[in-house]
């Protein structure tokens, strides 16, 4: 292993020596065979030759390649590479960048040559490209493209594109496309772009500056999706986010998550909590529970509530539930003098102080009307509504005795009850 490392270091030193020489006209060769730079069919000045086919037993150095380049350890090219480039460890395309630096130090003003790859580049440890990628990169370690990329990058560890990525990045750890992403990123841990994203990001953690969609400032049919544990769009989110925690900035798309956190919300957040400026609290009584506390978040176009309900004794029926937890999704229509809300709620009903482990599930559809009340020192809505309820269990019924009808499935051992109901209470403004 030390022998290979010494040879690789020697080849780099020889390459750097070649880069420091004055620029001369590039000559073309069909076949180039090399042991290390300086010991090759192109002599000691490999950077003066552009080859169609290069066979580098250990390391190779040339101005560029047009068809095929194979390197046991590494391949080093000053400018463009077309076709197929394979290396056991490292591929470097863009030695002209170092050459220009030396030229600037010496006071010369030389135009930068292109250092792009159009084709397939594969290496064991690293692919490094100072220009643009048009095609496919595959590596066991890290892919780096210092300009734009159009195509596919696959890396065992990390993919990096300094400008925009139009295509797909797949990495075991992290994908980065600094300026923009038009395509997709799939990573084991983290996806990132500091610009606009349209396409998809799939990882444990996804981050974009903005996600495009039909409600973007520049409306477009193309949209973006983030799928992960934590998703973030720092400025705006007009696409879709699905995760445990979603950060949407100015959110005008759709979020599905345990917690949605936004600066402002004009879209559709679905989750247990949506943190923005439109939260409310409801305290209600119903035909089933004397006390119901609901905390609502979201928008008027789509709000969600989490609720807890409690009874201290028997009130309306022979079997009175003790407590319940629930979740609902709803919508609000507002006028100047009142509002109307509709929602669908699901509750797990507990018949005693302990959590009921058996099937005990209630569902309801509710329509409510809220009237504003202003007392000077405080204001709220007086809320009343009608409900249609259902309850499924292994046998017991909690429906009010005079208001329900029941169905029983003897084969499954389940009992289903239906009844009309009501809610009355107050809601914060």
Given pLDDT bands bounded at 50, 70 and 90, which one contains residue 20? very low
Query: Which range among 173-177, 203-207, 236-240 shows the weakest confidence by mean pLDDT?
Result: 236-240
pLDDT at 39: 86
Q: In this predicted model, which residue has the larger pLDDT, 25 or 369?
A: 369
Q: In this predicted model, which residue has the larger pLDDT, 425 or 29?
A: 425
Contact between 88 and 57 (Cβ < 8 Å): no
DSSP letters along 268-332, please?
Answer: EEESSEEESS--EEEEEEESS-SEEEEEEEE-SSSEEEEEEEE-SS--SSSS---EEEEEEEEEE
Tell me the CA distances in angstroms from 175 to 120, 159, 199, one per residue in order.
19, 5, 14
Q: In this predicted model, which residue has the larger pLDDT, 227 or 50?
A: 227
pLDDT at 246: 95
Contact between 259 and 244 (Cβ < 8 Å): yes
Tell me the CA distances in angstroms from 301 to 24, 155, 330, 341, one per residue in order.
68, 42, 8, 10
Query: Which range among 155-159, 211-215, 255-259, 353-357 shows the weakest confidence by mean pLDDT?
Result: 211-215
Q: What is the pLDDT of residues 223-250, one digit of tens each?
A: 899 999 999 998 899 999 999 999 998 8
* Arithmetic mean of pLDDT, 380-404: 82
Q: In this predicted model, which residue has the larger pLDDT, 94 or 228?
A: 228
Given pLDDT bands bounded at 50, 70 and 90, which one contains residue 427? very high
In percent, how much of the chain has pLDDT > 90? 51
Secondary structure class of 252 (helix, strand, coil): coil
* Arithmetic mean of pLDDT, 85-101: 77
Given pLDDT bands bounded at 50, 70 and 90, which one contains residue 108? very low
Q: In the predicted model, what is the mean pLDDT of the chain?
A: 84
Distance (Å, whole) CA 383 – CA 292 = 13
pLDDT at 386: 96
pLDDT at 197: 93
pLDDT at 402: 61
Distance (Å, whole) CA 197 – CA 161 = 14
Task: List CB contacts of 120: < 8 A, sequence separation 6 or more.
Answer: 83, 84, 85, 135, 136, 137, 138
Q: What is the pLDDT of residues 271-323, one digit of tens each?
A: 888 887 678 899 999 988 999 999 988 877 788 899 999 988 666 555 678 89
Query: Which range among 78-92, 138-152, 276-290, 305-319 shows the weakest confidence by mean pLDDT?
Result: 305-319
Distance (Å, whole) CA 319 – CA 340 = 32
Q: Are strands 323-334 and 339-350 parallel, antiparallel or unpaired?
A: antiparallel
Task: List CB contacts of 169: < 8 A, sequence separation 6 or more.
Answer: 152, 153, 155, 159, 161, 175, 177, 183, 184, 185, 186, 187, 191
Q: How many CB atoms lie within 10 A of CB 319?
A: 11
Distance (Å, whole) CA 360 – CA 350 = 7
* Arithmetic mean of pLDDT, 137-154: 96
Query: Which range among 29-33, 159-163, 297-301 shows the weakest confidence by mean pLDDT?
Result: 297-301
pLDDT at 218: 54
Is 112 a residue whose pLDDT tops 70?
no
Q: Largest Cα–Cα distance in the chain?
A: 101
Chain position carrying tokens 């009130």 = 315
Is 419 a residue whose pLDDT tops 80?
yes
Contact between 263 and 252 (Cβ < 8 Å): no
Distance (Å, whole) CA 13 – CA 103 = 18
Measured over the CA atoms of residue 142, residue 87, residue 8 and residue 130, the dihedral's sign is negative
Task: List CB contacts of 346: < 8 A, sequence separation 6 or more.
Answer: 326, 327, 328, 361, 362, 363
pLDDT at 17: 46
pTM here is 0.75
∠ CA 102-36-157, rounded to 5°: 75
Contact between 396 and 414 (Cβ < 8 Å): no
In percent, how much of the chain has pLDDT > 70? 82
* Arithmetic mean of pLDDT, 394-403: 69
The DSSP letter of residue 13 is H
Q: What share of the chain is helix, strand, coil (3-state, %, to 5)?
A: 5, 60, 30
Q: Which residues pair with 406 in a beta bridge?
A: 417
């Amino acid at each position: 292993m030390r022998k290979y490392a010494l040879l690789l270091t020697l080849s780099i030193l020889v390459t750097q020596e070649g880069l420091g020489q004055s620029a001369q006209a590039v000559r073309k060769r069909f076949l180039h065979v090399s042991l290390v730079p300086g010991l090759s069919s192109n002599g000691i000045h490999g950077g003066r030759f552009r080859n169609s086919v290069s066979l580098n037993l250990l390391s190779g150095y040339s101005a560029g390649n047009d068809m095929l380049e194979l390197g046991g350890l590494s391949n080093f090219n000053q400018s463009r590479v077309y076709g197929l480039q394979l290396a056991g460890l490292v591929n470097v395309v863009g030695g002209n960048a170092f050459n220009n630096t030396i030229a600037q130090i010496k006071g010369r003003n030389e135009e930068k040559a292109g250092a792009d790859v159009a084709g397939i580049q594969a290496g064991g440890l690293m692919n490094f490209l100072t220009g643009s990628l048009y095609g496919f990169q595959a590596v066991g370690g890290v892919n780096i493209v210092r300009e734009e990329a159009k195509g596919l990058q696959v890396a065992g560890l990390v993919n990096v594109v300094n400008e925009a990525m139009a295509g797909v990045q797949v990495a075991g750890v992290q994908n980065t496309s600094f300026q923009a992403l038009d395509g997709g990123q799939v990573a084991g841990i983290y996806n990132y772009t500091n610009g606009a994203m349209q396409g998809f990001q799939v990882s444990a953690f996804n981050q974009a500056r903005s996600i495009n969609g039909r409600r973007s400032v520049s409306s477009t049919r193309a949209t973006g999706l983030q799928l992960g544990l934590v998703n973030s769009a720092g400025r705006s989110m007009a696409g879709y986010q699905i995760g445990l925690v979603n950060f949407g900035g100015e959110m005008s798309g759709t979020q599905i998550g345990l917690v949605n956190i936004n600066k402002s919300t004009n879209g559709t957040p679905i989750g247990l909590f949506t943190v923005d400026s439109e939260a409310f609290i409801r305290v209600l009584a119903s035909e089933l529970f004397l006390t119901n506390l609901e905390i609502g978040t979201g928008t008027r176009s789509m709000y969600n509530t989490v609720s807890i309900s409690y009874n201290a004794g028997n009130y309306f029926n022979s079997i009175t539930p003790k407590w319940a937890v629930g979740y609902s999704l709803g919508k609000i229509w507002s006028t100047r003098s009142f509002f109307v809300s509709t929602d669908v709620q699901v509750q797990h009903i507990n018949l005693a102080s302990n959590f009921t482990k058996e099937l005990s599930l209630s569902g309801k559809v509710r329509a409510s009307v809220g009237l504003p009340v202003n007392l000077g020192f405080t204001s709220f809505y007086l809320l009343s509504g009608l409900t249609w309820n259902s309850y499924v269990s292994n046998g017991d019924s909690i429906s009010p005795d005079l208001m329900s009808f029941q169905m029983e499935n003897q084969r499954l051992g389940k009992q289903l009850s239906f009844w009309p109901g009501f809610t009355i209470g107050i809601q914060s403004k």
